[in-house]
Amino acid sequence: MCIFCDIIEGKVPSTKRYEDDKFIIIDDISHRAKKHYLIIPKAHYSTFAEQTEEQAIDLGLMLNRFSRFDKILGLEEGYRMMINQGENAGQSVEHVHVHILGGEKLPVAP
């Protein structure tokens, strides 16, 4: 369906940091901070407009659980969660995902 679906299915290699039945966390291929991870739901949906309520609950729980991964992933000093939606935001992969940026002091976001 898309590059992230191929990664989830193991057709495209990735550096996987976490996996459960509903999510994977991988390194972004092109780091925009010292640490740059992607939280990717295994369900393919392009935008929040397509997200079901159940998928919204799953993502909310995943973000809550992520707070326990900070030490393992080198994010003890804080991190930024970021989601691009649509063309104006520069969304390049149409499979909702959360960017996690950290490992250094980040510039102020626009």
Residues with a known catalytic role: 97
- Cβ-based neighbour number of residue 63 at 10 Å: 13
Report the alpha-carbon distance of residue 31 to residue 88 in Å, rounded.
21
Site for Zn ion in 28-57 (CB under 5 A): 44
Site for ligand 5GP in 12-31 (CB under 6 A): 12, 14, 26-30
Instruction: Give alpha helix (H) positions in 17-103.
Output: 53-66
Closest Cα partner for 22 from 70, 60, 67, 74?
60
Considering CB under 6 A, how many residues would be counted as binding ligand 5GP? 13
Query: Which partner, ligand 5GP, Zn ion, none, binds residue 42 by CB below 5 to 8 Å per kind?
Result: none
Q: List interacting residues with ligand 5GP (CB under 6 A).
A: 3, 12, 14, 26-30, 84, 90-93
